[in-house]
Amino acid sequence: MAAMHDFVNAIHIRTNEQGDALDAVTEVLARAGYDPAAILEPGDDPPIEDPTKARVRHFLVSPPNNGWVSIFDENFVEIFDLAPRLSAEIKCPALLLWSQGNRSWGYQLADEGRTIDQYATDLNYLDGPSAGRPEVLCEYSKGTVEQFRLLFEAGKGVARGSMKIFAKLFEIENCETDYENLAAGDHAGVERFDEFVQMTFVKR
């Protein structure tokens, strides 16, 4: 699908239980100082929010697809700290995947709270080394060492395409969108959007 803006991202958690992902987001946000304001099941109408209320943060959480549940965070800055925390809470792999048009792309792979691999064509997005370890990625995906090496060698210039190929090797759906697109009604090509759950939190 064509994104409405350049920057797209999401965290993909390896689980077949949407409820486990919802619980993990709630627990991790609570420790970060957020209280749940609303959790909307499919078909629920969103609440009318007070525009004067500060620090409201929204999420959309997909149903499982191919063993992954995708979490779309309204805050595209703080999402970069979430993957290891969610991975630790749910005790399973979590993959943050993003791209900025055709200028840059990258990922952060965590397992049980520990970042085990990360890569970015623009190092400003990451703290620490940008390793890109194909032999590690093979343990979590259908990809081969050679396929991942080719992606890393391609580098800039094909960022959105590289991210899409990377996601396919993990059998991850809905990688080419983010919270802003979905909230704006751009659901074209998004698998099972009618089963997404919206979560709202307010900073204490």
What is the tens place of the pLDDT at every residue in 77-134?
889 889 999 999 999 999 999 988 878 889 999 999 999 999 988 878 877 767 799 9
> Where along the chain do its domains lie?
7-187+197-203
- 4's CB contacts (< 8 A; 6+ apart) are 180, 181, 184, 186
pLDDT tens-place string over residues 25-34: 999 999 999 9
Q: What is the DSSP secondary structure assignment for residue 65, as one 8-state letter?
A: B
* Residue 7 to residue 73: CA distance in whole angstroms: 13
Cα 148 to the center of its chain, rounded Å:
20
